Amino acid sequence: MSSDLVQLLFSGLTVGGIYALIAVGFVTIYNVNGVINFAQGEFVMVAAMSGAAMTSAGAPLWIACIAAILVSAAVGAVAWRLALYPARYSSDVVLIIITIGLSTTLRGLAQLLWGSSPLTIPPFMAGEPVSFLGAVIPLQDFFIGGIALICMLALFVFFERTAMGSALRACMMNREVSRLMGISPNRMALLSFVLGAGLAGAVGVSVAPVSLATYDMGLMIGLKGFVAAVLGGLVSIPGAVAGGVLLGVLESLGAGLVSSGYKDAIAFLILLLVLIFRPQGILGARSGKRV
């Protein structure tokens, strides 16, 4: 295996972990609330911008980043309560339009609050890149991959080992049956937004040292997270993780072997092909139907 291919694979796995976390947020919110949250990428931006602002003001790096994730989760909770909850009985189209409006609103508020100039967060891991099989891997990539892996393990423990996680998973499967079992769908809907925004916040503070933090950074990363969620079937968390990793690898290979100018187009080409030939996703059953 050539060093260039190894480099592209490592880069793809790192980016794929980012897409996977955002896709998990999409899947969780969709299955509990029945709405595709197109403001998911803005939660990434909120964490990145607030974390950068706090470190610029002199806050310790780790404290600033943890606070930024909490800020993102709080914004998710407020967004659900003020925007989605009052319209919870509206049609799917109305709910989607609300999330698009929420996305635009958050970008506008971020521009007013932090300005249009890029901000940055200091790198978490400083030092020389690591050489592996001929590839040169920056230490920050290891940090991003580690954060993605830790978040996925934490999600597994949360869904499989906690009562709250089991209740959320039950509500994702069937809201009405969960209600009969004494689980509050509204409480789980709020939790899904907090969880999705928190995961996006972890992505935001992880990538800000590499890509810089701007008020409009969430638009493209959110759309690619949506592509990853669709690729995984939009109803399965393991599918979302697989879709995110696959999208990251394909995007990296396409950009490296074809042209970096097609990097963003690759994701949407994959979305188009999936919707045409396998709309249920790579892990979905052909006869599956969301209830």
**How does pLDDT run across 123-169, given as a tens digit for each residue?**
887 777 778 777 777 788 888 888 888 988 998 899 888 898 888 88
Q: 């925004």: which residue's tokens?
A: 197
Q: In what helix (H) or strand (E) does residue 132 lie, and over which residues does it extend?
A: strand 130-132
- Return the structure tokens found at 287: 């006869």
C-alpha separations of 90 from 75, 98, 139 in Å: 22, 10, 47
- For residues 184 and 202, give the distance between their C-alpha atoms in angstroms, rounded to a whole number: 27
201 belongs to a structural domain: yes
The pLDDT assigned to 234 comes to: 83
State the Cα torsion 27-28-30-35 to the nearest 10°.
-130
5 belongs to a structural domain: no
Residue-range definition of the domain harbouring residue 56: 18-217
Phi/psi of residue 212, nearest 5 degrees: 70, 160
269 belongs to a structural domain: no
37 belongs to a structural domain: yes
Q: Does residue 289 have a pLDDT over 70?
A: no
283 belongs to a structural domain: no
Q: Does residue 256 have a pLDDT over 90?
A: no
- For residues 212 and 138, give the distance between their C-alpha atoms in angstroms, rounded to a whole number: 16
CA angle 158, 67, 167 (to 5 degrees): 20
Q: Once rounded to an integer, what is the mean pLDDT over residues 227-231?
A: 90
Q: Does residue 181 have a pLDDT over 90?
A: no
158 belongs to a structural domain: yes
236 belongs to a structural domain: no
- pLDDT band at residue 288 using 50, 70 and 90 as cut-offs: very low
- pLDDT band at residue 60 using 50, 70 and 90 as cut-offs: very high
- For residues 83 and 35, give the distance between their C-alpha atoms in angstroms, rounded to a whole number: 12
Phi/psi of residue 119, nearest 5 degrees: -115, 165
Q: How many domains does the chain have?
A: 1
252 belongs to a structural domain: no
- For residues 69 and 88, give the distance between their C-alpha atoms in angstroms, rounded to a whole number: 26
pTM score of the predicted model: 0.88
Q: Does residue 107 have a pLDDT over 90?
A: yes
Phi/psi of residue 280, nearest 5 degrees: -85, 0
Contact 34, 92 (CB under 8 A): yes
